[in-house]
Amino acid sequence: MKKVLVMVGLPASGKTTFAKDYCKSNNKIGRYSTKGYRINHLNFDELFESYRYSKFEKPIAIQKIVNDNVSSNYDEVILDGLFLTNEDVLKILNEVDNHCSMDNIEIHYWEPNIENCLWNDKYRREENSEITIKNAKVEMPDVDEIKKEFNKANVEVITHEVQQRPLWREFICKYDIQIDENDKMKSGSWGLGGSYQTCWGTGGSVSADDQPTTYEEFDSLLEKVCPTITFLQYKKLYNACVNIGTYGEHDYYGGSTEHAYFLCDVEKLYDELSEIGLIDE
């Protein structure tokens, strides 16, 4: 494996945001990319839930997750969990080392900032991380010890400062807005029509759906945020923030259809709501 990245820092330091941005910056989305470069971002908080392990079975869960998801088939793996001490780092790297050799180890360390972490933790989950943020001790990774343990790998520690989450991202968390990888809120889709084919090359047309008269997700959000909004204010927000996107689908026999969906720029929506005084920063 070319590189293993370990995230080290308090909850809400920005570790997962960094990991996702790291993937995007190199055209590495999820596990695969169009360039054939493979990266596996292991978000342990999410994986603990999907593997259905309780909080008291995490050591077993970590072994199982690494066993299932780490191999030399990947060029890089990001280990994104609550690793706070040098011992934590050595343990997780040893789990990876059991499955493949590592050329480079890159430790990303967020210097503790309790105030900013508490700010970022607001609205993230139904259950907050306040106790851990206030009391957990974070150690600067010991490069010499890691090099001694994995003497064939290059080891580097990169430090980061904890940045306060921008207000528009706070807005997303507060109202639990579901967004895509481009920070846009998408509606359900409707069909624009198309065609299907048989093995003889014949076929027929696929009928288009009626375009929805309302963008339900957008309306529901505004009802929660500013229930007293006027029609003119609503119209201004809609025109400024909502567009229509499209995508196509193709099947084995050559059939194809086009689909459309409403798309809301959430950052712009927050700015517009603030500008016209419909949200209290």
Within this chain, do residues 114 and 202 fall inside the same structural domain, yes or no?
no
At 69 the pLDDT is 87
Write down the pTM of the prediction. 0.71
Per-residue tokens: 212 = 């929805």
Give dist(CA 229, CA 243) in Å, integer. 20
Query: Could you tell me if 102 and 119 lie in one domain?
Result: yes
Q: Which domain holds residue 78?
A: 3-165
Same domain, 125 and 223: no
**What is the tally of structural domains in the chain?**
2
* 184-220 burial: b if 16+ Cβ within 10 Å, else e: bbebebebbebeeeeeeeeeeebeeeeeeeebebbee
Is the predicted pLDDT of residue 195 greater than 90, yes or no? yes
pLDDT of residue 127: 87
Which pLDDT tens digit goes with each residue over 15-41? Answer: 999 998 888 776 544 444 445 678 889
Q: Which residue's entry shows tokens 């890089």?
A: 76
The predicted-structure confidence for 200-222, as pLDDT tens digits, reads as follows: 778 899 999 999 999 999 999 99
| Res. 46: pLDDT tops 80 | yes
pLDDT of 54 reads: 63
Mean pLDDT to the nearest integer, 60-87: 90
Q: Give the pLDDT score at 254.
A: 85
Average pLDDT over residues 2-21: 94
- In this prediction, residue 36 carries a pLDDT of 64
The secondary structure of residue 57, as a DSSP letter, is: G
Same domain for 21 and 152, yes or no, is yes
Instruction: Kindly tell me if the per-residue pLDDT of 264 is higher than 70.
Output: yes
For the stretch 123-144, pLDDT in tens is: 888 889 999 999 999 999 999 9
Long-range Cβ contacts of 90-94 (<8 Å, 24+ apart): 90/145, 90/146, 90/149, 92/6, 92/62, 92/66, 93/4, 93/6, 93/146, 93/149, 93/150, 94/149
What pLDDT, on a 0 to 100 scale, did the predictor assign at position 28? 47
Q: 156 and 186 share a domain?
A: no
Asked if 35 and 149 sit in the same domain, the reply is: yes
Average pLDDT of the chain is 89
Last residue in a domain, options 146, 165, 184: 165
Q: What is the pLDDT of residue 4?
A: 95
Are residues 33 and 151 part of one domain? yes
| Same domain assignment for residues 126 and 147 | yes
